Structure formats: C-alpha cells, structure tokens
Amino acid sequence: MPLRTRQRCHAALTGLAAFALATAAVLSAAPSATAADAWIEAGSDRADPLTESQGLTSVEVPAGSPNRYTGIGTIPAGVGSRGWNHVGDPDASYGGFYIEPYQRDSGTTKMFRVQAPGGTWSEYVHTLSAGEALNNSWVAVSPGGQWMLAGEWGTMNRLLVFPTPGVNPGTSPAANLPQASTVHLDHAVRDVQGCDFVSATRLLCSSDDPAGTLFGITKPLLQIDLSAEPNGTADVTGHVTALRQLPLRSGCSGTFETEGIDYDRRTGTLRVIVLSPGFCILTDSVTYRFTKS
C-alpha cells in the first residue's frame, strides 16, 4: 500500500548508516522472459526513493519537455497540509495537460491535480461513488484526450472512467468531477499501481500483486485490451493478459514494490518503477526500460 512506501522510505533514511556496515549480497531475479513476452528489458535507471517512487510519465507538449515523476518528496507543502498526503502514477494528455492523482487517509473524496500547458495548476475533486474505494492509485488519459481512466487498490474487476479534468469541456474545478462510466474486466487484477495507453484500445499496467494467485506470477506486467475506446457514455469491457513478471533484482532480499508505468509513444519505450526491499530502497530501486520485440 502507499503508506507502506512512506514508512519504508523513512526507516531506510534513518538507518542508512547501519546498512552501510552490513552489505547484503543476495540477488533476487525475475524469471527470464519467455517467447510469449512482447516486452523485452532494454536498460534501467536508478529511481530516487523520494521523488521517483510513485509514478512517471512522458510529456509531449511542449516539445522537448522532460519526463515527469512523482514521489513523497514531490507533494507540495500546501497540498499535503490539506490532507492530500499520497500522490499516485500521473499521466499527460497528448495536448500537454499533466495530471496527478491524490488521496487522503480517510474521507469520501479523491483529487486530481492538473497543470495546464501554460503552467497553471488546478484541482478537481471527485466525490466517491457507491462502493468506490478511497485509493487513487493512477490515471491514464485516453489518446483522444477527452476521457481518463483511474484505478483503485486491492482486487478489482473494473477500471473507472472520468472526463479528463482540464481537457474535457464538461469539467470545472468548481464542480464535482463525476465518474462517467466503467471498464469491466474479464479477469480480476490486484494492486494495480499504474496503467498507460499504448493505443486507443490497449493498456499496459504494472501490478504489485504479492500473492501470484491470479496469474501464477507475482508483480506482473498486464495487458488490457478494451472492446472500444472509453467515451464516457457507455461501459466497455477489457480482456486481461499477464505478459511477464517484472524484474525483481536488488542487493537486498525481501519484498519488492512495483510502482508506476509509462509508455512513450515517440520512442516506443515502456518504463516501470520497481522499489527495492528494505534499506536497498535507497540504493538500487530502479526504473526499468523495455522495448517491444
């Protein structure tokens, strides 16, 4: 859960000196990709545990924009002081609107913080629908731009569809951001930490599933094929496929945490953040890069 990440970062920062005296030599590696895998590991970059520990996205507008990351260290003081103490995996529309999902520890609302291409920030608050989980783990803007998916934590058979705040003309910071429709999945998913569109009807998602009972592997990279591009007026279905286990390598043994995901359509590069166990969250957490075979 997101709280676990904050606790691990705090413990790791206070205990780094002790860790330096007790170097671990255990390597934990994911199984090799099989012939059925469509995405092959192509490299990696260190992920900072404070500013790159929750999510990431590529931004196309304006041209030359750097990749954006979220972590516990990227939450503005004025936002955190109002109780929005967790930020999830962000996304950006093809028109350059950048969107971060926020949640509180309790209550009946979640929030989407939006930066327009000109730099102005706005906040769009959503009141939970009946049965909706409080978690606001990620957002994924559809290629058409008008509609956005968001996800809940735990074992779920659905994704939520919203009008894209700041992009869809029916949205306003002064009004509740309503859920517009639902993606009904044909297979349950667990602890999805991020999704991103690779086409109008295909998503790739990173799952932090620790049990492995749904697909036979823990921490899977998932593919979801939609029956149609979400349009907010009618529900669609999604066919779920587990493509592979995400890489789990560290100088420490223990429980890894899979985080956000991004597909950069300009380069065809897929990136996924994986946080290392224990004190190694500080030293060898990684953003893995993949290319399609």
Q: How far apart are CA 43 and CA 190, in angstroms?
A: 26
Is the Cβ–Cβ distance between 176 and 193 less than 8 Å? no
Per-residue pLDDT, averaged over 177-184, amounts to 98
Structure tokens at 186: 């044909």
Tokens 């990620």 belong to which residue? 138
Task: Indicate whether 201 pLDDT > 80.
Answer: yes
Residue 9 sits at the vertex; the CA angle it makes with 8 and 12, to the nearest 5 degrees, is 80
Judging by DSSP bridges, how do beta strands 55-57 and 68-70 pair with one another? Answer: antiparallel
Task: Indicate whether 8 pLDDT > 80.
Answer: no
pLDDT score for 30: 36
pLDDT, one tens digit per residue, over 220-274 is: 999 999 999 999 999 999 999 999 999 999 999 999 999 999 999 999 999 999 9
SS (H, E, C) the chain: CHHHHHHHHHHHHHCHHHHHHCCCCCCCCCCCCCCCCCEEEEEEEECCCCCCCCEEECCCCCCCCCCEEECHHHCCHHHHCCCCCEECECEECCCCCEEEEEECCCCCEEEEEEECCCCCEEEEEEECCCCCCCCCCEEEECCCCCEEEEECCCEEEEEEEEECCCCCCCCCCCCCCCCCEEEEEEEEEECEEEEEEEECCEEEEEECCCCCCCCCCCCEEEEEEECCCCCCCCCEEEEEEEEEECCCCCCCCCCCEEEEEEEECCCCEEEEEEECCHHHHCCCCEEEEEEEC
Of 271, 269, 217, residue with least CA distance to 32: 217
Other Cβ atoms less than 10 A from the Cβ of 170: the count is: 13
pLDDT score for 262: 98
Sheet holding 192-199, edge to edge: 138-141, 147-151, 155-163, 181-190, 236-245, 220-226, 202-207, 192-199
pLDDT, one tens digit per residue, over 53-95 is: 999 999 998 889 999 999 999 999 999 999 999 999 999 999 9
Is the Cβ–Cβ distance between 97 and 83 less than 8 Å? no
pLDDT band at 7 (very low <50, low <70, confident <90, very high): low
Structure tokens at 148: 């956005």
Can you name the CATH fold of 2-292? Neuraminidase (2.120.10)
Q: How far apart are CA 250 and CA 288, in angstroms?
A: 13
Q: Is 0.85 topped by the overall pTM? A: yes
21 vs 65, residue with greater confidence: 65
Task: Indicate whether 25 pLDDT > 80.
Answer: no
Domain segments of the chain as ranges:
2-292
pLDDT, one tens digit per residue, over 30-49 is: 333 333 458 999 999 999 99
pLDDT score for 43: 97
